[in-house]
Amino acid sequence: MQMGGGMQQMQMGQQPDSLNRQNSWKVPRDQWYENRMGPGEIGKQNLGNFIKKVYAILTFQMAITVAFCVGGMFWPPLQNALISFMRIRYGTLLIFIPAIISLCCLQCNKANYPLNYMLLICFTVLMSISIAGICALYQAAGMGILILQAFVITMGTFTGLSLYAMYSGQDFSWMGGMLSMGLFGMIAFSFFGMIFGFSGGIFYSMFGVFLFCGFILYDTSRVLRIYGPDDALIASIELYLDILNLFLYILEILSRGNSD
């Protein structure tokens, strides 16, 4: 009965679901978890294709962000617009809230093409505007060279940690609980700092650098061991956010050192 149904689908010009999944670098979920970490060629091919897709999406996201940042630093109309926006009180909420909404919608529609990619682009553009605004402020203050330095250090660190997580054979998924506690601690510290007017200074930024270095190892390990065939967009977003946060904390450290 199943074979007959499959033949009818082929005759009607429709491909079976398994073929559609393979054509988009996906395999059925049961086969995925059975083969992805196995020693056979099927497992290696499934995992290799999935990793390629994740990092292709991540490269696309970074290209959008870099384009916005370069425009915000060197194209006066965009630079002025971004600086004006960044000076609006609570203006960051105008980006943060839609970004969270688009991210939640993406989580619910991660396998719904093309809506998932539209939501990905929306989220990436919103985050790019925020980062580009910071870059525009630094450029206007005559510290644009720090942007380049922070970017080079960030990408070098990300590449090194990612390669180590991939080729060391170690599983870093055990770090999830500690990293979550560290992140919530930083959020709480920042919240009370705004209320009571204190700052962690350079030590806060250094802790942020170490925290998101840990997240890079953790999220890369999840790409290798945890994520399913429909999770490529979510995996790329997590790595993308790791890069952005690491960049911002490195930039903060460099700017403090430059002001001393």
CA–CA distance from 167 to each of 75, 162, 172, 219, 221 (Å)? Answer: 41, 9, 12, 14, 10
In percent, the amount of the chain with pLDDT more than 70 equals 82
- Please give the pLDDT value at position 23: 43
Span 241-260, average pLDDT: 91
User: Greater confidence, 29 or 245?
Assistant: 245
| 52-86 pLDDT, tens digit each | 999 999 999 999 999 999 999 999 999 999 999 99
Structural domain boundaries enclosing 247: 41-259
Give the mean pLDDT of the chain: 85
7 domain-assigned = no
The DSSP output letter for 1 is -
State mean pLDDT over 163-173.
Answer: 92
Domain-located, residue 10: no
Name the pLDDT band for 115 (thresholds 50, 70, 90): very high
Q: Yes or no: say if 46 and 36 are a contact pair by the CB < 8 Å rule.
A: yes
Residue 48 lies in a domain: yes
Residue 28 lies in a domain: no
Asked if the structure places residue 156 within a domain, the reply is yes
pLDDT computed for residue 16 by the predictor: 43
> Looking at the domain assignment, is residue 33 inside a domain?
no
Overall number of domains in the chain: 1
Higher confidence at residue 164 or residue 37? 164
From the centroid of its chain, how far is CA 90? Answer: 24
Least confident of 124-138, 143-157, 191-205: 191-205
20 vs 192, residue with greater confidence:
192
Count Cβ atoms below 10 Å from residue 241 Cβ, excluding itself.
17
- pTM of the model as a whole: 0.84
Q: Does the residue 22 lie in any domain? A: no
Q: Is there a domain that residue 214 lies in?
A: yes
